[in-house]
Amino acid sequence: MTSVDPALSHLAESLAAIVKTDSVPHLRAHLSGRTLPAMGGDEDPADILLRAFPLIQTTPDFMERLARLLGDLISEEVAALTAEGFSPQQLSLLRSALYLASSLPAETNLFSSLKNLLEIPVIHGRGEDRAKLSLPLWQALVYQQTDASLEETWLSLLAPEQQGPSKPAQRTLLLTAWRGLLWIPPSQEAMQAEEGTNFDRIQNGIQTLYRSLLLQQGDDFGQSEVSSFIELCLDILQETFPRSGEFWARNLRSHSADWPSALATIVLARWPLPPQIDRPSPQIFSQEDRRSLDRALAKLAEVDSRMAELKATADDLVDYYETHRLDEALNSIAVLLTHFGPALGVAATRLSRDIAAISRQMELLRAWQEMEKHTLSDVPQVEDVRRQEMIKMIKTLIRRARRRRV
Amino acid sequence: MNGQPPETPNTFKVFDRERDHHPWQEAFQEMQRLDVDRRWAVAANWRMDHRVSEDREWGDLEASGHFTSVRNANDWWEARKNYFQQEICQPVTPGPTGKISAYGRPTNAANRIADRISAFDKLVHVASFSSLLRRVSRSDRSAEVEAILHQLTGQRLLSNWGPLNAQVSMLARAMLALGPEVIRRIAGLLADSLGEQEPPWWASFVEEVQTALDSKNALALCVALGLGHLPTGDWLLVWRYPIKEAGPLYRPTVLEANDSPFHFPSPPGCALGITMPLDSAQAACREVLHRPLRGRAAVEFCTGELFFLERLPVLRDNEVLVKLRTQHRARIQRELSLTGLNAWMLRHPEITP
């Protein structure tokens, strides 16, 4: 008795020989089930072939060559298509070929053949061909992409098609399209820059998907299910690009300003910033701080004719007291500085931009340092009560916040 | 006796009926060789399985069109696969296409179990967890399953499949950690998501495998139920349910056994199927077919357990398989005293290495 199934060993040898000789007919015979061993268990031919893969050791580039050969096989089947569509045997063969394709590494020839299959009208019709091939084809295309040519296709699958209650099959297609979008390989330029993650594409995709889900809400698929579905999509994102939660928090937050607020809430809740820099202790901004800031604002308002505008900005600042969100406070200060830019000079405008950029990334400790640096050295010493008050206010805030953090 | 003389072991037979110039003759002769692919075991079963009636042979198997151009063993093997996929893997009640599974068609009426079996008796069905996951991941309800799996366990369905991998085990272990209720819920979800293409369930009587069930040992279950096809590293889900939940019961035939070399037809006169245990010391169990459980029943009657199949002895060598079949024959002869049993055995002597 051996520890390896001899039938699988035999199959592995056969597969290695098929790849070595580029034999499409022999691969077809395996995939159609004609030349497979008796395994039991109702497995698809593709799954029986996959069980033999670990036993193939003599051909280092076996998977890539098999993928190329599988591309040839699919092309031949597409070329043999008649007006009546595929025969039941062809359907069965192609379905197994697609199952296998989804488990092989991306290969140009295979990707091209799958795209040709996608162009065939029967794939999108209503008959048996569509029922048997459509989903396996999308699932295979997800992992076979060697360029970005399907980006618009995935986005159109994600886009809301029609309003009405969502069906499980629609959601399966949405999830497949989301995976498809994520599995688009980076461009040459992005590769050179070592940027595997395309945030514009991700945010475009997630927003499109979210809008689709909203349109498809119904009795069985309400807001709670939409949220769960988005969370699942975020999980898939993290699985596709294994990065830390902090990575996603940092990068997605900088894109999330334009998102629907409910979507942004789901994403920001999924990847909160580490506690030490996300939400400073409520004590950081005490009632005393608030009074101090209010006094500063009032004084500024006295000397500034743009009272209404300033008051509106000040209201933003009040909000942060209520939420104790230091990041929002910094944003508000940045906005305030922008308004006072002409009076404070160019340096203040730059300072406000820097603060805004830094606080968007939630790197608050760094923001404090930058603010301090700018306020001490970069802002011109203009004799202006507004500038002095602003600088004083910021420095006070920084000092108190630091003291409380310690 | 099935109308066959006992002394004709060398005449060509299909379904235990003698044939003259049958189109499959060449294919079956080709498959008589004890080759590494084990097709000989399946072919031998098709030759000896009296349970496929003439009605089913002509009104279903031949009429299906899958076997019309069989010239050699590969043609036949492909036709068998297509028959299983397209005729057996169908709903047992008419669906949108109007097609029902071949085992539920009138041509298989002879195998519908007419004997009155007490409704309180219990059946057990064992399924491969990885196989269920794989099928569901390819179904159009996969997103729904994935969302619920994610919600319950934090794990996802695999979207592409290689050999058994660590992710299946991670999911299984996460489910085990969450307890039987979660396992039941997920088992029901998987069962419901398979759609109408799921093959019928094979089931045995709980009492016959009680010891194996109590042992909570996957290997013991596989040995008792003859599940020689499962790969090491798989996980098993178990359902125990009253017969009344199963709907009509059928005696299995080789046609439903697909390509399993671990099946052995039950002899003439036996109203049910009989398992071929993977150990000669084990008693054989009675087995039946029925439609898969769905909905509430698929949740309620799952045992809430998952058993890891750490190691299944490789029984796939021809020598071992022949020995297993030979011992099974002896077991049947010891146990049953059916009229025509010996004659049936003589008509179909075991292939020897």
pLDDT tens, residue by residue, A66-81: 999 999 999 999 998 8
Kindly report the nearest CA distance between residue A104 and chain B, in angstroms.
Answer: 9
B269 touches chain A (CB under 8 A): no
- CB nearest to A103's CB, from B86, B128, B162: B162
Q: Tell me: the pLDDT tens digits for A341-371?
A: 444 444 444 555 555 544 444 344 445 455 5
Q: Do B229 and A89 touch (CB under 8 A)?
A: no
Contact B344, A32 (CB under 8 A): no
The lowest-confidence range among A127-141, B1-15, B296-310 is B1-15
Q: pLDDT averaged over chain A?
A: 76
Write out chain A residues lying below 8 Å of B233, CB-based. Answer: none
The token duo for B199 is 């093959």
Of A7, A99, A231, the CB nearest to B138: A99
pLDDT at B21: 86
Chain B touched by A106 (CB under 8 Å): no
The more confidently predicted of residues A57 and A52 is: A52
pLDDT greater than 60 at residue A297: no
List strand residue ranges (DSSP E) for B179-297, in order. Answer: 201-205, 235-242, 273-274, 286-290
**Residues of chain A with pLDDT > 90: what percent?**
38
CB interface of A with B, residues 44-83, below 8 Å: 45, 47, 50-51, 53-54
Nearest to A67 by CA among A117, A119, A19: A19
The partner residue sitting opposite B140, judged by closest CB among A7, A34, A135, is A135
Single pTM value for the model: 0.80
Q: Which of residues 170-209 of A touch B (CB under 8 A)?
A: 171-176, 179
Cβ distance A103 to B317 less than 8 Å, yes or no, reads no
Contact B229 A41 (CB under 8 A): yes
A178 pLDDT higher than 70: yes
Strands B201-205 vs B286-290: parallel, antiparallel or unpaired: antiparallel
Q: Does A229 touch chain B (CB under 8 A)?
A: yes
Q: What average pLDDT does chain B have?
A: 90
Of A89 and B60, which is predicted with more confidence? Answer: B60
- Does B85 sit within 8 Å of A53, measured CB to CB? no
A·B CB contacts under 8 A: 144
Structure confidence at residue A282 (pLDDT): 38
* H helix runs in chain B, sequence order: 25-30, 39-48, 54-56, 73-83, 129-137, 142-153, 166-178, 180-193, 210-215, 218-225, 295-300, 318-335, 341-347
Mutate to test the interface with A, among B37, B128, B197 (most CBs of A within 10 A): B37
Q: Does the distance separating the beta carbons of A29 and B229 come in below 8 Å?
A: no
Going by their DSSP bridges, the two strands B235-242 and B302-308 should be labelled as antiparallel
- CB count within 10 Å of CB B207 equals 12
The 8 Å CB, 24+ separation contacts for A186-194 are A187/A148
pLDDT at B175: 95
Q: What pLDDT was estimated at residue A316? A: 47
